[in-house]
Amino acid sequence: MINRHLQQIIPATSVSDGAGVKIKRSLGLNAQLRFDPFLMLDCFGSEQAGDYIKGFPPHPHRGFETVTYMLDGHMLHEDHLGNKGHLKSGGVQWMTAGRGIIHSEMPQQEQGLMRGLQLWLNLPASEKMKPATYADIPPQKIPLCRPANGVSVKVIAGSFQYDGNEVQGPILGLSTEPQFYDIRLQAGTELKLTLPQDHHALLYPFEGAVAVKNADTLQQLKEHHAGLLSQGNSVTLFANADVSVILLAGKPINEPIAQYGPFVMNTPAEIEQAIRDYQQGKLTAAGPAGQITLNTPA
Ligand code: FE
């Protein structure tokens, strides 16, 4: 077993996006701060309505997937395909923009806490122009594992192995093989996770701090810092105090990236095409609607 350690830390920076929603961005702050296949990781969280109320009015995407994990609050997603989904605490929205989608994400509350994460996951060239697809995953479809006392893991994507068990999440079978866990550790507990050797993996503690343990060393990762891990087939997390941390792992695509705002392609010419298609109303034209099939283990 090769145990992974922290090899790079990206502190989140406060930025605003959409129609003035305040977010903390770590991955994706600039082109050097991606971690193939992960393009961007945003965390939003505020009890002040002014920080989120204007939401994300209609905007396009092409060439990748967006994953929204709602921790607290209520947002409404609507897109040009006619999809309409209420995203509530503990729920996930997995959207494959593919050749193009135009959608909005608007808060459905005028007060109280709104908190969650949004991840941008790249697609390989062969899938960038596939039909747009969309899945709402309600909290009850996300398995919760309790591998030890004081340790819980929600499996949003991929599968989680412990004590000879394998628990599959609702999102499986994508070419980037994403693993997406929400891990809660109580003070003094630790968790050893198995990960595919060559997948890029990172941690993002969104409440509290976590440590990565190797023999007798502990590398600390503070709240709202993205911790990129070295390669290896396991990682051991340790909590000095209660922590909630996201673990993401995915298979690198190893292709060139050309990005202009919400369009992520391989070449500048493809970006120009995306902009032209959007301006001419062709971003979302033609082609059958796609479908994401949720994995529902028996
Ligand atoms: Fe969007």
Domains contained in the chain, CATH given: 6-284 (2.60.120.10)
Summarize the confidence of residues 1-11 as an average pLDDT: 96
How sure is the predictor about 289, in pLDDT bands with cuts at 50, 70 and 90? low
d(CA 39, CA 28): 6
pLDDT tens, position by position, 135-193: 999 999 999 999 999 999 999 999 999 888 999 999 999 999 999 999 999 999 999 99
C-alpha 59 – ligand 1 centre gap (Å): 6
pLDDT tens, position by position, 258-274: 999 999 999 999 999 99
One-letter identity of residue 222 = K
C-alpha 67 – ligand 1 centre gap (Å): 9
Q: For tokens 């909630």, name the residue.
A: 244
C-alpha 2 – ligand 1 centre gap (Å): 37
C-alpha 231 – ligand 1 centre gap (Å): 31
C-alpha 28 – ligand 1 centre gap (Å): 15
C-alpha 74 – ligand 1 centre gap (Å): 16
Q: What is the pTM of this model?
A: 0.94
What integer pLDDT is reported at residue 216 of this predicted model? 84
One-letter identity of residue 174 = L
Cα-based distances in Å from 46 to 18, 55, 188 = 15, 13, 28
What integer pLDDT is reported at residue 292 of this predicted model? 64
C-alpha 45 – ligand 1 centre gap (Å): 17
Summarize the confidence of residues 285-295 as an average pLDDT: 63
C-alpha 176 – ligand 1 centre gap (Å): 20
Whether the upstream peptide bond of residue 37 has omega within 30° of 0, thus cis, is yes
C-alpha 66 – ligand 1 centre gap (Å): 7
pLDDT tens, position by position, 182-234: 999 999 999 999 999 999 999 999 999 999 999 989 999 999 999 999 999 99
How sure is the predictor about 298, in pLDDT bands with cuts at 50, 70 and 90? very low
C-alpha 163 – ligand 1 centre gap (Å): 38
How sure is the predictor about 282, in pLDDT bands with cuts at 50, 70 and 90? confident
pLDDT tens, position by position, 63-100: 999 999 999 999 999 998 888 989 999 999 999 999 99
How sure is the predictor about 276, in pLDDT bands with cuts at 50, 70 and 90? very high
C-alpha 229 – ligand 1 centre gap (Å): 27
What integer pLDDT is reported at residue 163 of this predicted model? 82
C-alpha 120 – ligand 1 centre gap (Å): 9
C-alpha 99 – ligand 1 centre gap (Å): 14
* First-residue to last-residue Cα distance in the chain: 31
C-alpha 207 – ligand 1 centre gap (Å): 24
C-alpha 62 – ligand 1 centre gap (Å): 10
Cα-based distances in Å from 171 to 72, 181, 209 = 21, 11, 27
How sure is the predictor about 6, in pLDDT bands with cuts at 50, 70 and 90? very high
Summarize the confidence of residues 23-32 as an average pLDDT: 95
C-alpha 61 – ligand 1 centre gap (Å): 7
Structure tokens given for 140: 């009850």
What integer pLDDT is reported at residue 287 of this predicted model? 57
C-alpha 60 – ligand 1 centre gap (Å): 7
SS3 of the chain: the string is CCECCEEEEEECEEEEECCCEEEEECCCCCHHHCECCEEEEEEEEECCHHHCCCCEEEEEEECEEEEEEEEECEEEEEECCCCEEEEECCCEEEEECCCCEEEEEEECCCCCCEEEEEEEEECCHHHCCCCCEEEEECHHHCCEEEEECCEEEEEEECEEEECCEEEECCECCCCCCCEEEEEEECCCCEEEEECCCCCEEEEEEEECCEEEEECCEEEEECCCEEEEECCCCEEEEECCCCEEEEEEEECCCCCCCEEECCEEECCHHHHHHHHHHHHCCCCCCCCCCCCCCCCCCC
| Residues 6+ positions from 224 with CB-CB distance below 8 Å | 11, 12, 24, 26, 43, 204, 205, 206
What integer pLDDT is reported at residue 181 of this predicted model? 98
How sure is the predictor about 295, in pLDDT bands with cuts at 50, 70 and 90? confident
